């Protein structure tokens, strides 16, 4: 029994140090409080937004600024109010519709593939993320969004922004790819471990967009700079 437990721990060792866990928990609380006053507001975060909207908008958000999607949101979901409406769209019309947002060719393919899948399953996605592998336009990020928005699971919306915040605050990841770095995966999951998952996810995304920006982070006005490793190294 002891041998098995030991080997198990060695194989699946928790990559997070206890100190890192404490810092992430405290960071999450601070950022949620910060977002309560300084966070952004988008239509897909409102209670009125359907699960369809919350998931479909993730495709609109890919490699695109959230503000641009915010301007585009109302007309898009007025024209395509359901998976079925989106699945029945003519590809040419969808492409034309998406042009103001950019990446319209690729996005049209993604949205149509995703909508045709979802229309067949009545908008229900599998609970097991391994079954998301073959769904068009669903990578790790959208998979986590599905698990979070449809199945109420504690999954982080881990993208370049959440990664940047965590890495600056604690330490850089070791692997190049966000999806395969065990430490970053564990850290992002720990970040959303307590409290409201969506609030924590949105808080860190807003914080990354407004304060902890990629190029010129506003460290002097950062609410957590006294504990930030990046700020300490400046």
- Give the interface with DNA as residue ranges (CB under 7 A): 40, 42, 44-45, 58, 61-68, 99-106, 110, 113, 136-143, 145, 157, 159-161, 164, 175-177, 180, 202, 205-206, 208-209, 213-216
Q: Quote the CA–CA distance of 34 and 120 in Å, as a whole number.
A: 41
Query: Least Å distance between CB 115 and DNA?
Result: 13
Give me 44's structure tokens.
């897909």
Query: Least Å distance between CB 112 and DNA?
Result: 11
CB atoms within 10 A of CB 104: 15
CB atoms within 10 A of CB 105: 12
Query: Least Å distance between CB 5 and DNA?
Result: 27
Q: Quote the CA–CA distance of 106 and 200 in Å, as a whole number.
A: 30
Residue closer to DNA (CB basis): 21 or 40: 40
Residue closer to DNA (CB basis): 5 or 181: 181
Residue closer to DNA (CB basis): 1 or 177: 177
Residue closer to DNA (CB basis): 21 or 150: 150
Q: Which single residue is written with the structure tokens 């194989």?
A: 11
Q: Which single residue is written with the structure tokens 């073959």?
A: 134
């Amino acid at each position: 029994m002891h041998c098995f437990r030991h080997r198990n721990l060695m194989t699946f060792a928790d990559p997070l140090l206890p100190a890192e866990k404490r810092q992430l928990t405290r960071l999450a609380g601070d950022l949620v409080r910060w977002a309560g006053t300084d966070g952004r507001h988008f239509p897909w975060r409102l209670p009125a937004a359907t699960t369809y909207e919350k998931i479909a908008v993730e495709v609109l958000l890919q490699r695109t600024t959230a503000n641009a999607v915010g301007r585009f949101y109302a007309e898009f979901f007025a024209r395509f109010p359901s998976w079925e409406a989106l699945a029945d769209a003519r590809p040419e019309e969808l492409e034309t519709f998406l042009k103001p947002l950019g990446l319209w060719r690729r996005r049209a393919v993604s949205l149509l593939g995703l909508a045709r899948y979802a229309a067949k399953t009545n908008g229900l996605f599998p609970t097991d993320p391994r079954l998301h592998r073959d769904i068009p336009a669903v990578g790790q990020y959208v998979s986590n969004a599905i698990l979070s928005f449809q199945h109420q699971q504690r999954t982080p919306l881990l993208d370049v922004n959440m990664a940047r915040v965590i890495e600056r605050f604690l330490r850089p990841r070791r692997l190049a790819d966000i999806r395969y770095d065990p430490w970053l995966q564990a850290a992002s999951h720990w970040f959303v471990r307590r409290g409201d998952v969506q609030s924590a996810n949105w808080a860190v995304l807003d914080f990354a967009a407004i304060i902890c920006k990629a190029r010129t982070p506003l460290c002097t006005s950062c609410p957590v700079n006294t504990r930030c490793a990046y700020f300490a190294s400046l």
